[in-house]
């Protein structure tokens, strides 16, 4: 029996997805995002946390609109094929749920990759090679 010498996967990666109204919408993985996109998502997330969600405060509607715009930018980056009209039909809580689903899936993938890398990496504990018993210093000059 011959041995397998080549494995080919399809071009589309196996993606996590969310469902809105029964239709799947696929999420990008961290590997697909550029460093600029990752930095932008982190900045937007920090901005959202900095604004906070104070629904009863004066001017809360303006703050929510600003937060809504931030979350829209995140969704546009991480959800493939999400039409703007459907995105706009989601309320802020639903948008946060989508963003949280992306972050959770992303963290789980990262943890899995790190665990696999840790398994494959040589152990740094245990036995080490014995050192030389002689000195590496130059012999003292006689004379």
Q: Are 24 and 80 in contact (CB under 8 A)?
A: no
Q: What is the pTM of this model?
A: 0.65
**pLDDT tens column, 53-106:** 544 455 555 566 668 888 899 999 999 999 999 999 999 889 989 988 998 888
Q: Are 15 and 7 in contact (CB under 8 A)?
A: no
CA–CA gap between residue 102 and residue 41 (Å, rounded)? 11
CA–CA gap between residue 139 and residue 38 (Å, rounded)? 57
Report the Cα–Cα distance between both ends of the chain, in Å, rounded.
75
Q: Are 64 and 52 in contact (CB under 8 A)?
A: no
């Amino acid at each position: 029996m011959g041995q397998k010498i080549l494995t080919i996967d399809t071009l589309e990666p196996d993606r996590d997805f969310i469902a809105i109204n029964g239709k799947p919408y696929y999420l990008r993985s961290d590997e697909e995002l550029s460093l600029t996109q990752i930095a932008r998502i982190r900045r937007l997330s920090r901005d959202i946390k900095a604004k906070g969600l104070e629904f009863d405060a004066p001017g809360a509607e303006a703050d929510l609109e600003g937060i809504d715009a931030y979350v829209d930018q995140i969704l546009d980056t991480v959800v493939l094929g999400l039409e703007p009209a459907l995105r706009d039909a989601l309320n802020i809580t639903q948008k946060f749920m989508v963003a949280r689903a992306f972050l959770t899936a992303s963290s789980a993938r990262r943890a899995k990759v790190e665990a696999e890398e840790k398994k494959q990496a040589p152990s740094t504990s245990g036995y080490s090679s014995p050192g030389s018993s002689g000195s590496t210093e130059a012999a003292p000059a006689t004379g």
